[in-house]
Amino acid sequence: MKVLGHRGCKYEVENTIRSFERAFELGADGIELDTQSTSDGVIVVSHDENLKRVFGVDFKIQEHTLFELEGITKDGEKVPTLESVLEIARSKNKIVDVELKNPKDLEAVSKIVQSFNYDGFF
């Protein structure tokens, strides 16, 4: 049996670098994360298409660029790119369960995952 941190760790802002790192620190074998795409086509990690619930800002990810998104933080954490999270997981040899929230992102997410040439994906 493997234990995955759902959106990382509940003690941190969900789906953020700190949340995933904390899940690993607490012994998780891997993480589950969700993807969205920005208006400039960058795949980022967020369960919701709007940041209102988690970050407290009415901000629809798909209507803004990555640059605009990077200006939003909560407790010092930003919405990370999929690539940045995969780099960390691979460096720690952890499992990653990637959940697509929008089927139109399948090709972009697949390219990113394949570019990592890493066996730790569900």
- Whether 47 maps to a domain, the answer reads yes
CA atoms in the 13 A half-sphere facing the CB of 65: 3
Q: Is 6 noted as a catalytic residue in this protein?
A: yes
- Whether 82 maps to a domain, the answer reads yes
Q: Which domain holds residue 48?
A: 4-115
Distance set, CA 67 to CA 9, 72, 88 (Å): 26, 10, 21
Task: Decide: helix, strand or coil at residue 31.
Answer: strand
For residue 119, pLDDT over 90 is answered with no
- Whether 101 maps to a domain, the answer reads yes
Residue type, 49: E
- When computed from its CA atoms, the radius of gyration of the chain, rounded to whole angstroms, is 13
Q: What is the CATH number of the domain that holds 92?
A: 3.20.20.190
- Whether 54 maps to a domain, the answer reads yes
Question: Which of the four pLDDT bands, split at 50, 70 and 90, describes residue 38?
Answer: very high
For residue 42, pLDDT over 80 is answered with yes
In the set 47, 64, 74, 90, the catalytic residue is 47
What residues pair up with 44 in beta bridges, in sequence order? Answer: 36, 81
> What are the φ and ψ backbone dihedral angles of 75, each rounded to 5 degrees?
50, 35
In the set 5, 6, 8, 69, the catalytic residue is 6
Total number of domains in the chain: 1
For residue 13, pLDDT over 80 is answered with yes
What pLDDT is recorded for position 117? 79
Q: Is 64 noted as a catalytic residue in this protein?
A: no
pLDDT higher for 66 or 114? 66
- Whether 120 maps to a domain, the answer reads no
- Whether 122 maps to a domain, the answer reads no
